[in-house]
């Protein structure tokens, strides 16, 4: 394949990766927060522990899009498919 076509497809793939990662993270963060708030309303005495666990879970969820963005940046700036 021509190098410009590979570069163009790499840019498109990077954009799709970044968009999908952001969308998945936003959905997962909102789902985790909703479930934590639901648990806090059921058992208010556990609100502190649930809040801490929610923050840890959201931090772990957010690590996945960060890794996806790094992969997208590698595709854009240090593309292994272009020689």
pLDDT in tens, 32-77: 999 999 999 999 999 999 999 999 999 999 999 999 999 999 989 9
pLDDT at 64: 94
Sign of CA dihedral 32, 38, 42, 46: positive
The pTM for the full model equals 0.80
Domain at 3-78, CATH class: mainly alpha
Q: CA angle, corner 10, sides to 5 and 27, nearest 5?
A: 145
Instruction: Report residue 34 as tokens.
Output: 């909703």
pLDDT at 58: 97
């Amino acid at each position: 394949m021509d190098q410009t076509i590979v570069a163009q497809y790499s840019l498109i793939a990077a954009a799709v990766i970044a968009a999908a990662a952001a969308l998945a993270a936003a959905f997962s963060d909102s789902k985790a927060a909703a479930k934590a708030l639901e648990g806090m309303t059921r058992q208010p005495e556990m609100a502190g522990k649930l809040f801490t666990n929610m923050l840890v879970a959201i931090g772990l969820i957010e690590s996945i899009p960060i890794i996806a963005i790094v992969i997208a940046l590698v595709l854009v700036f240090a593309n292994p498919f272009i020689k």
